[in-house]
Chains A and B, each alone.
Chain A
């Protein structure tokens, strides 16, 4: 069983909708990540939070807005997405930003119509 929990598992939204993806971990990890993964491709880093502060933003479009309410929770707010944003969105955590070992959730499969 994964110790990183993501909800929802599946999400279908129109281009004018606003939705959010949620991620939770209770391992005491201090770094949390959002990745985007297209079919048959490796995960692409989007954002990194370290000690609840945004430390890396990989030039992600502003229609994706991350939020880290506390050390256990990570949200990704979605607004005005495009069909090409359809992908598997993976949340991960690590003990700290430099430890390298990532613990992934099962992902949220997003379809934008």
Chain B
């Protein structure tokens, strides 16, 4: 079975501060891991993905995430928050044993204070 746990349903940071959104996963086989962002009344947009290779992956809008197998984590970070980063963020896991089925975390709402 595969699962995703996002720690913290709400995260609030000040503009310019570090953003850290936490994601832990469970998978019986090497996973593919994803972070998606959803702005109000829109669909989900891929921020970044880990499949194989380099464990530090860079995505759009200055976000990056590090795959840590020993910690089964894939936390999302951004050095300096911008007001436009305020959105819902979903971590997701997919593996070949569940082909076609991505499992999403419950989401984290990021608020950015001026």
* A→B interface (CB under 8 Å): 2, 4, 6, 31, 33, 40-43, 45, 48, 50, 55-56, 90, 92, 97-98, 100-107, 109
Contacts and interface: CB of A to CB of B under 8 A. Distances in A.
B44 A43 contact: yes
Nearest to B107: A42
When A and B form their complex, which 7 residue pairs have the shortest distance between CB atoms, in order from nearest?
A100-B94, A104-B43, A42-B104, A97-B100, A100-B32, A98-B99, A104-B44
Contacts of B51: 100
B90 interface: yes
B83 to A, nearest CB: 21
A40 B104 CA distance: 13
Contacts of A105: 43
B44 A48 contact: no
